[in-house]
Amino acid sequence: MTNDRKTPQRTYPQEVSLGGRLVTLRLMEPSDREAILAFARNLPHDDLLFLRLDITTPEGVDEWIQNVKQGRTHTILALADGAVVGYASVHHNEVMWTRHVGEIRVMVHPDFRELKLGRRLTDEVFATARELGLKKMMVQMTPDQKGARATFERLGFHVEALLGDFVVDAEGKTRDLMIMALDLEGFTDVEHQRVVASA
pLDDT tens, position by position, 104-126: 999 999 999 899 899 899 889 98
Cα–Cα dist 172/4, whole Å: 41
d(CA 134, CA 4): 11
Which one has a higher pLDDT value, 15 or 189? 15
Expressed as residue numbers, the domain containing 141 is 14-183
Q: How far is CA 183 from the centre of its chain?
A: 17
Asked if residue 191 is part of any domain, the answer here is no
The answer as to whether 90 is a domain residue is: yes
On whether residue 3 sits in a domain, the answer given is no
Q: How confident is the model at residue 45 (pLDDT cuts 50, 70, 90)?
A: confident
Whole-number pLDDT of residue 4: 52
Neighbours of 33 (CB within 10 A): 15
* Res 187: pLDDT: 61
* pLDDT computed for residue 52 by the predictor: 76
The pLDDT assigned to 147 comes to 80
- Cα-Cα end-to-end distance for the chain: 52
Identify the band that residue 94 occupies on the pLDDT scale cut at 50, 70 and 90.
Answer: confident
Contact of 145 with 50, CB cutoff 8 Å = yes
pLDDT band at 196 (very low <50, low <70, confident <90, very high): very low
| pLDDT beyond 90 at 50 | no
Confidence of residue 194 (pLDDT cuts 50, 70, 90): very low
The count of domains in the chain is 1
β-sheet with 21-27: strand ranges across: 14-18, 21-27, 73-80, 83-91, 101-108, 136-141, 174-183, 158-168
| Structure confidence at residue 97 as a pLDDT band (50, 70, 90) | low
We report the CATH number of the domain holding residue 39 as 3.40.630.30
Phi–psi pair at 19, nearest 5 degrees:
60, 35
Look at residue 198 in the predicted model and tell me its pLDDT: 28
Residue 172 has pLDDT above 90, yes or no: no
pLDDT band at residue 171 using 50, 70 and 90 as cut-offs: confident
Whether 112 maps to a domain, the answer reads: yes
Report pLDDT for 197: 30
Run of H or E residues at 60: helix 58-69
Tens-place pLDDT, residues 141-165 = 889 888 888 888 988 899 999 999 9
Question: Inter-axis angle of helices 33-41 and 58-69, to 10 degrees?
Answer: 130
pTM of the model: 0.82
In a domain, 59, yes or no: yes
Residue 184, pLDDT score: 86
ω into 13 cis (within 30 of 0) = yes
3-class SS shares of the chain: helix, strand, coil, % to 5: 30, 30, 40
Is 188 a domain residue? Answer: no
DSSP string, 158-171: EEEEEEEEEEE-TT
User: Is 103 within a domain?
Assistant: yes
Question: What is the rounded CA–CA span in Å between residue 17 and residue 13?
Answer: 13
